Every structure is written in C-alpha cells, then in structure tokens.
Structure 1
Amino acid sequence: MTTTAPSPRLLLLSTVLLTVAGVALLGVPHAQEQPAPSPTAHSAADPPSAAAVPHARKPTAGVAVSATSVPSTPSTSSAVVSALPPHGEGVAGDLAIQQSLEAAWPADLPAHDERQLLRAARALLRADATGIGRATWPEVFPDSGKAVAPAFAVARFRIQAAIARRDSRADRAVVHLVWAGMDRGGTFTDLRVTDWFFTRTFQKGAAAWTVQPRT
C-alpha cells in the first residue's frame, strides 16, 4: 500500500469542502438536522480528511496551491455550496458532486486525453484502495506481487466523481477523484479525495499519459 504525506493541494481541497459542507448543513432547518458524519477512516491514498472540490480559480503551479486562493466571485461560491450534497447522501448525490467539480474547474484538455486520464486514474485508485489490478503498475505498486490485505472493501468502494485537468505545464495533468469506501475497521466514509499526476510521454511515436509514482 503506498502512502504519502499530505500535499498542500490536498489539504486546501479538504479545507474547502469541510467549509462548504458546514455551510450547507447550516441551511437545514433544526427539525431536519442530520447526525454528524462518522469520523473519517485512514485512506490508503490520502490523509484522513473529507474530500473537496477545486476552487473555481485554477492552481498555477505544480502540486502546491496558495492557501489564499479563493473562488473568483461570491456567486460561484454560492453555487458550489448549494449544489453539494451532505455527507451520507449515497449514489443519489454523486451527480451533484461531479457537476460541482466541473463548474469549479472548467475543462482544459482535449476530450480524448481526458478520457484516457480518467480511465487510468480510476483504475489506479481502485488498485490502491482495494488491491485489485496492482500488477498493471509495478512502478507505482512495488508490492503488487505480494499478498497485501486491501485497505478498503471492494463491495463498498465507489468513485463518486472525477475530473482531469492540466497541471502547471502542457505535458502534465492531474486527475481529481472523489470517492467513498469502507475500511478494514468497518468505518464507511464518503467525500474522500485523491489526486493522481501524469506526464505526457511518447511511445513509438504516439503520445500517451504516464502516471507519476507516489513519493
């Protein structure tokens, strides 16, 4: 199981969604208040935190994101807040999360590149969380040939939303995935976030996206 220290980008994304979810819950009448979400279980791919949507303002450099970055306009922030479902909404809330991601960070990659990146990142996240398919990326999962207990149950793993966008340079991209899962301790948590980074390479004259191993 690969682990990594939380990047500034992930910490910022987590802070934003926690704030957004809190504002959304404050708008629920007292009689309809829902119980607080269960504590976030430790993720195989991320720090234990709730997921977040990217700002409407696109990050400008690498992994780091300025802690002072804010949505470009109040109306954009309000739209994202009103669109996000509360914790525990289930599959019914996944579309709203996807739409919020797309509204916050407009597409900036060719459609065929975005499809390729999303397909690879979804498979990578599933492999990282559940152990399924790790042998496909031995450079990312050096323990793929060993018997490793998966951190999350296959039956309770679900990718809620995903977008692929440019990252700092034309030959770099990042895929943001929001997902839900039940860990080995039986704790189910949704709105997790994972980033996978890719670099454009050329193999036999054809362009391809190669995932960057976690460090």
Structure 2
Amino acid sequence: MTTAPRSPRLLVLSAVVLAVAGIALLGMPHGQVPRATTTPAATAAQAATDPSSAADVPPDGRPTASTSPATAPATSAPSAVESALPPHGEGAAGDPAVQRNLEAAWPSDLPAADERVLLAAGRALLRADATGIGRAKWPMVFPDSGGAVAPAFATAGFRIQAAIARRDGSPDKAVVHLVWAGMDRGGSFTDLRITDWHFTRTVKKGTTTWTPQPRT
C-alpha cells in the first residue's frame, strides 16, 4: 500500500519550526542549559537541605502557589476634605484649611445676607454654650441661663476654627456647622470639635427672622 504524499504546506511549516528552534539554540550563551522544571521530589529535597524554604513546602511535597502577600488593591484616593485637613494641634495656622474644606464639601446655597446673619448667630450660640458667655440672650435655647452655670469650656483657648451656614432640607430651615477648639474642665485641649445649630425662618411684614432651635 502506498501512502499519500505529504502536503507542501505541512512541509513548509515543519521547516519553519525547525529553523526557529535552531536559531534559539544558537542564541543561547555558551554553557547555559535550559532551566529544568522543578518537580515535587526536587522541591522536597531542597526543603530538606535548606530549612529556610521548608515553610513554603506542604507536607505532601506538592508545589503550591507563592505564599508571599498579594499586592493589596489600591485604595480610593482620600477626598479633598480628608486630605486637606490639618493635623490635630496645628493651631490657628491650620484654621483656613478647615474653612476651605467645609466650603468645598458643602457649597453655599443661601443668600449672602441670610448666611451672614446665621453665621453670626451660630458663632455666638456656640460661644454661649461652651463658655457660658451670652446665654441670657437666648432663654429658649438656654433655659438655665438665669442661674449660675459652670461653663464646660474655659474662655481662654476657645477658638472657632471654621463655620458655614447652609439650608437644612428646606428653604425655611438652616444649619450652622462649626468646627472649634477648646479646653474642658479637666484641662484637656482638643481642636476640630464639631457642633451644629439649627434654625427656622419666619417672615413677618417683609422681615426675615432666623430663630435658633434648642439642642436635643
């Protein structure tokens, strides 16, 4: 029985494969041999002679994936607010950065006139609440303002670091968000404290009044 002649295309492909293999062997540096594939037996033998590699070899001698910690996925970049916050204890020099953070995180949404009124009231309320100064001006907010009340924070060192006034879910409601620093009765000074004061708006005869709400 005679066999059919091989396809010319198959012969050409075989010749190309042999030529590539020959070029690869010629290009290998003299004396260098291809690296042998590591077998389970060779791995176990290496572990016996090199104790430092024993931790990577399981009891059955089977090769496992590398136990080096995988590269952790990159975390999301911190927000502008978090990245620009000054460290605790920065002092008054860090206050402008806190103010910029608040304004960037919560864009203004109130008329400029309302914002000025709310900021002035919010600052005064915070000072009265923390130091006891000026509580009598808001008897509805501070019912105990007529008696002697020991302030929670000393006047010395009290500082408002930043403040913004924004709408609070309604055109007739607003909140003043304040960041401040102060020393408590125990003598502990802490900055970047946060306090919110809420207001409601009433309009009578064309005059707008923002009324602070008692803190709950």
Q: TM-score, normalised by structure 2?
A: 0.63
Q: Structure 1: 5+ residue runs without aligned partners?
A: 1-73
Letter in structure 2 aligned against 1:210 = T
Q: What is the match of residue 173 of structure 1?
A: 174
CA distance in 2, matches of 1:143, 1:160: 27
Q: What is the match of residue 129 of structure 1?
A: 130
1:107 aligns with 2:93: no
| Cα deviation 1:182-214 (Å, max 9, x = unaligned) | 011100000000000000112444111111112
Q: What is the match of residue 209 of structure 2?
A: 208
Q: What is the match of residue 189 of structure 1?
A: 190
Seq. identity, %: 77
Q: What is the match of residue 150 of structure 1?
A: 151
CA distance in 1, matches of 2:147, 2:206: 35
1:49-64 to structure 2, matched below 5 A, reads none
User: 2:200 aligns to what SS in structure 1?
Assistant: strand
User: 1:107 aligns to what SS in structure 2?
Assistant: coil
Deviation at 1:82, TM superposition (A): 2.5
User: 2:121 aligns to what SS in structure 1?
Assistant: helix
| Cα deviation 1:14-42 (Å, max 9, x = unaligned) | xxxxxxxxxxxxxxxxxxxxxxxxxxxxx
Deviation at 1:79, TM superposition (A): 2.3
CA distance in 1, matches of 2:82, 2:214: 33
Q: What is the match of residue 82 of structure 2?
A: 81
CA distance in 1, matches of 2:84, 2:149: 38
Letter in structure 2 aligned against 1:131 = G
| Cα deviation 1:93-150 (Å, max 9, x = unaligned) | 0000000000001000000000000000000000000000000000000011101111
Kindly tell me the number of residue pairs found equivalent between the two proteins.
141
Deviation at 1:78, TM superposition (A): 3.3
More helix by share: 2
User: 1:89 aligns to what SS in structure 2?
Assistant: coil
1:95 aligns with 2:99: no
| Cα deviation 1:127-183 (Å, max 9, x = unaligned) | 000000000000000011101111100011100000000011110000100000001
Q: CA RMSD in A?
A: 1.2
Letter in structure 2 aligned against 1:152 = F
Letter in structure 2 aligned against 1:107 = S
User: 1:155 aligns to what SS in structure 2?
Assistant: coil
Deviation at 1:92, TM superposition (A): 0.4
User: 2:107 aligns to what SS in structure 1?
Assistant: coil
CA distance in 2, matches of 1:102, 1:205: 30
CA distance in 2, matches of 1:203, 1:155: 40
Q: Which has the higher contact order (CA 8 A, sep 6+)?
A: 1
1:37-76 to structure 2, matched below 5 A, reads none
Instruction: Identify which range, 204-213 or 82-91, moves more after superposition.
Output: 204-213
CA distance in 2, matches of 1:109, 1:205: 18
